[in-house]
Amino acid sequence: MSFDSINPATDERVASFPETSPAEQEAALGRAALAADAWRLSHAQERGALLQRVAALLRAGRDHYADIITLEVGKPVTEARAEVEKCAWACDYYAENAERLLGDEKVDVGDADARVAFLPLGVILAIMPWNFPFWQVFRFATAALTAGNAALLKHAANVPQCALSIARIFREAGAPEGLFQALLVRAPSVPALIADARVHAVTLTGSEAAGRAVAAAAGRALKKTVLELGGSDAFIVLADADLDRAAKAAVVSRYQNAGQSCIAAKRLILVESVAEPFLEHFTRHVKALKVGDPRDPDVLMGPLARRDLRETLHEQVTDALSHGASARLGCQIPEGPGSYYPPSILDHVRPGMRAYGEELFGPVAIILRARDSAHALALANDNRYGLGASLWTGDAVRGAALARDLQSGSSFVNAPVKSDPRLPFGGVKASGYGRELALYGVREFTNIKTLWVAP
């Protein structure tokens, strides 16, 4: 069965690639094991030098790689270029900080020399999604390789060109044979890969269902896992917030990448006293979004990545409308080719509707109304997910205090949620466990080992 690149703006199949055969998978596992054995002995400077070369290739080929991203997932080309640059930034961060992040930590225990060392695990299997097809991969790979591991990538089925391009970048940068490889395999092949003794840990970014399946397979094999799953991030606007500033940020957060982001502002929770004034600002800015051909640099929103994603999104919207929600803007499937869905606002969403409890992975903002700040926090936490949250207020000190009570892996005050190589990234509850990026992310892929040497 082939892996097809389908342009979601036109529904055209533009390329096909053969599946990695069982024999090829076996060979890849063997190469990865050998590469891991050698790479674990490399110095932090050698690992950093590789990432610096990768960063240079990313920047030199930025427009080419952005075009591939746009072709396969429909992301506006300006966003795709920014994604490639962010990958290069992550390479820079780990190249510059590898020794600091992985150096031994001495512990005062008296006469003995006691320390904690951070040593590589071996081969890391990464199961990655399509929505940020370069960034999600580099988010794990930079940390894993910096820690001295080898990496096997099982990417989403609809982005084979992205997967192969990333593997090619590492080869061209001079990575040892087998250190980073892409396997074009489907979900049924994953349990066997996880169970293979040459794989030592698994990281997944994807749906809650995929996370449960991978965690179960890894549990049977006693393999370490890091899971970054879905999110239904709250975007709280309190009565003293700068409404237009908050509205502009909400538009970017909700509709970037056509709303297909785990940390998008999916649930806009508005204190009732400012709900209508905020929505006036928000609706005006949403209407100004230019939707169209994602190859056009002036377009701010392209299509969804696949037709089935649009169908699922519209089912959630239709359910909410049938139970009393109102379509303030959009909420209708347009005619014509491609997987387009208009920037939409779904107002008066309440408990019992699918849109209240589920993640809406597309350009639909749902509106919840709160009596006051305490009610707003209660609404924000009344959700199975806990990836990120954003809170807007004129009192930053009070906002910081409230942000601590949000059940999320990260809480931003007067700023939209984002990932940053300098900060750990991950969630709680059904959004998964473990952390990527920064010190905590690189140490997820290590054996945190106690060393005790008596005189």
pLDDT computed for residue 365 by the predictor: 98
Q: Determine whether 162 is an active site residue.
A: no
3-class DSSP assignment, residue 353: coil
46-55 average pLDDT score: 98
Shared-domain flag, residues 273 and 184: no
The DSSP call for residue 333 is P
Query: pLDDT > 70: what percent of the chain?
Result: 100
Residue 425 maps to a domain: no
pLDDT, tens only, 415-436: 999 999 999 999 999 999 999 9
pTM as predicted: 0.97
Residues 285, 271: Cα–Cα separation, whole Å: 20
Residues 381, 408: Cα–Cα separation, whole Å: 8
pLDDT computed for residue 1 by the predictor: 81
Instruction: Quickly list H helices, 177-306.
Output: 190-195, 208-221, 243-255, 272-287
pLDDT, tens only, 373-403: 999 999 999 999 999 999 999 999 999 999 9
Shared-domain flag, residues 151 and 90: yes
Shared-domain flag, residues 155 and 264: no
385-386/428-429 β-pairing = antiparallel
Residue 65 maps to a domain: yes
CATH number at residue 212: 3.40.605.10
Q: Considering the candidates 79, 262, 331, 358, report the single residue annotated as catalytic.
A: 262
pLDDT computed for residue 8 by the predictor: 98
Shared-domain flag, residues 203 and 240: no
Domain that holds residue 223: 3-229+431-453
Q: Determine whether 87 is an active site residue.
A: no
Residue 426 maps to a domain: no
- Round the average pLDDT of the chain to a whole number and report it: 98
Residue 132 maps to a domain: yes
User: Phi and psi for 107 in degrees, rounded to 5?
Assistant: -125, 130
CATH number at residue 362: 3.40.309.10
pLDDT band of residue 222 (cuts 50, 70, 90) is: very high
Shared-domain flag, residues 248 and 113: no
Shared-domain flag, residues 200 and 310: no
Q: Considering the candidates 228, 358, 359, 436, report the single residue annotated as catalytic.
A: 228
Q: Is the pLDDT score of 351 beyond 90?
A: yes
Give how many domains the chain has, as a whole number. Answer: 2
User: Phi and psi for 81 in degrees, rounded to 5?
Assistant: -65, -40
Q: Is the pLDDT score of 200 beyond 90?
A: yes
User: How many C-beta atoms surround the C-beta of residue 86 within 10 A?
Assistant: 20
pLDDT computed for residue 244 by the predictor: 98
Shared-domain flag, residues 135 and 74: yes
354-361 average pLDDT score: 97
Shared-domain flag, residues 311 and 181: no
Query: pLDDT > 90: what percent of the chain?
Result: 100
The DSSP call for residue 2 is -
